[in-house]
Structure 1
């Protein structure tokens, strides 16, 4: 294991498997299992769905603590705790006789999400590989992109044979028997002395060196706002995609067919970024992501008959935004502060991601789908402006 732990490909592959099952039994839980839970228990559908929001909010609240832990102790303690917490939370869900315990289970799962999903894993990789962590971070998001592809059919199969409670226990076993050992592939100590940073990483390191406190605060606020807006926009769009497509004339079968384009487009965009991203500063990735999302929603709001193109363009932008979420803070603030910064940035972003679908539902029910689409387009335009300001700040620092 120590020899393998020095192999970046083995490390990222191991962490990637844990991301698939971490996302699959948390964020993607309701897509397959919400209806069986409602049928079995009689609990309100909205309450069952709110479990995921509870988990995301909990993840946001614990993220700053996780970031500080990774900065002090490295990523292995937090990441290794995550499968144990996932298993415990899923066990509580499986045995919950009422909604109170159901939500308690989601609080435990949310703690696992904060300790082991993207933000924590990005911080852990940055702690180990320094500025050369950009490649591993991008590759890790490729694995995460297959979470729904793997876990939706797996959940459906398990639920048909074991019921939803048995499915939770099966995922708990996967976390304990598979994911927990894989987390120990992550090296204990930093390996930056052996890293070979790219030219873009060198520029990023220079820009991140000893930033003035006021300039650093400005960059942090801008990046926190961008990450929160991006997550909220994506969360609303995905949660209400079928309703929004129906407002543009798509029947249910067409809406489902269009929705299937999202995953492949997202993964393909990440592959392209992974292949070429080492040649430019990661803030370019953030700019392209914001531009793609804003353009897609502007076309959507205009009502043009380009629904497939809108889905693909939005998915591509949203997909690479997750790479930028991990790589831009590393380039702007440096490897030493990266775990703490990631923890602090995750707090507003995850809470926004948790609350945004409810806000979208309010707009849809109290106003209209047209109002919701217009609001999303306006939010994406604002997000693009904020990214442009951050881009200009980064370029100015790189020249100074």
Structure 2
């Protein structure tokens, strides 16, 4: 990470924290009160959330290609407007159709403004030298849940869920939009011809498939834990206070793991740290199973550490294997199955928890180990690169 990169890293880290806190991490706190006010099951909220993730997955390759062509300034700035509009509409929701429309807007905003778009923007600016910058913004945005969950919960208690949505919407317009417009440079060097836009050909080969599968498996666990962590920990015997405390440790654990990745692990190929990251959730689950609810914080630390490195790997591993050419478009293709898995995970795990309780961690651990297996099969391809 160079001094010249620092303003962009600080700016993007701030806007990423805002984007994640006000979209992806919102249902964990607001799903139940929204459902009560609308007189429906909270599964409707998670279904709408899942639909928004599906939409962001579908849009991912197109958004990545656009960033490859013109850079990230326009796209990330548009994400603030779209997320703000979605949050404002969510704040005035009075029926299921309006709820779905609000989350579809949020889905478009997430596609335009979460990590894949930010990584693609950095790849367009820095090329092969992006690893440090990617790590830098994830160091800052690793606190999105640590900041977002308490702020949303405080807003819920103080001003209600509707005004909390309005407050997040205002933050996008007053904070996120100016930062993205002022900090991100206008990228030069690519001329776009409207008459004949060239769509790059990216073969869906064995390496692409293994990467897509690994990230889909791992990020389905991330999606499930983000939506249901307190509920799962309470099912394992933790008190409500222990579950909340454990949830607050995920952000710091992510950041500490990213510091380790940026210092010690940066000398190795990203494949090494990614494989290690797939082991931490199963280790944490085993500790929780053996020690009970009192080990909730240990589980959260292990899960958070692995998730922190996996977030970096989603940007750095494809860059290390394939290089910066068509990087944003390739990220969109590889990331689409992961977003689909994230979309299904909150609803699927929500239904499974009703019958399996804490044994749902067997499912999440199996998914993490499946991701590890796929990454182990990448040895020859990555070495060749």
| TM-score, with length taken from structure 1 | 0.84
Counterpart CA distance in 2 for 1:295 and 1:31 is 24
Counterpart CA distance in 1 for 2:358 and 2:86 is 39
Counterpart CA distance in 2 for 1:170 and 1:370 is 35
Q: Which runs of structure 2 are paired with 1:1-400 in the superposition (5 Å)? A: 7-184=4-181, 185-189=183-187, 217-300=205-288, 303=290, 307-366=296-355, 368-369=356-357, 371-395=359-383, 397-398=384-385
1:233-260: CA deviations, max 9, x gaps? 2222443334443454434443333333
CA RMSD between the two structures: 2.4
Specify whether residues 30 and 376 from structure 1 end up closer, same or farther in structure 2 by C-alpha distance, changes over 3 A only.
closer
Shift of 1:307: 5.0
Contact 2:84 2:168 in 1 (8 A): yes
Contact 1:294 1:384 in 2 (8 A): no
Shift of 1:37: 2.2
Counterpart CA distance in 2 for 1:26 and 1:96 is 16
Counterpart CA distance in 1 for 2:291 and 2:129 is 42
Contact 1:287 1:391 in 2 (8 A): no
1:153-203: CA deviations, max 9, x gaps? 333344445432222222222111211111121122269xxxxxxxxxxxx
Shift of 1:370: 5.8
Counterpart CA distance in 2 for 1:240 and 1:162 is 24
Gaps of 5+ in 1: 1-5, 192-212
SS of the counterpart of 2:324?
Answer: coil
Contact 2:254 2:307 in 1 (8 A): yes
Contact 2:25 2:226 in 1 (8 A): no
Shift of 1:277: 4.0
Specify whether residues 299 and 94 from structure 1 end up closer, same or farther in structure 2 by C-alpha distance, changes over 3 A only.
closer
Specify whether residues 247 and 39 from structure 1 end up closer, same or farther in structure 2 by C-alpha distance, changes over 3 A only.
closer
Gaps of 5+ in 2: 190-201
Shift of 1:351: 1.1
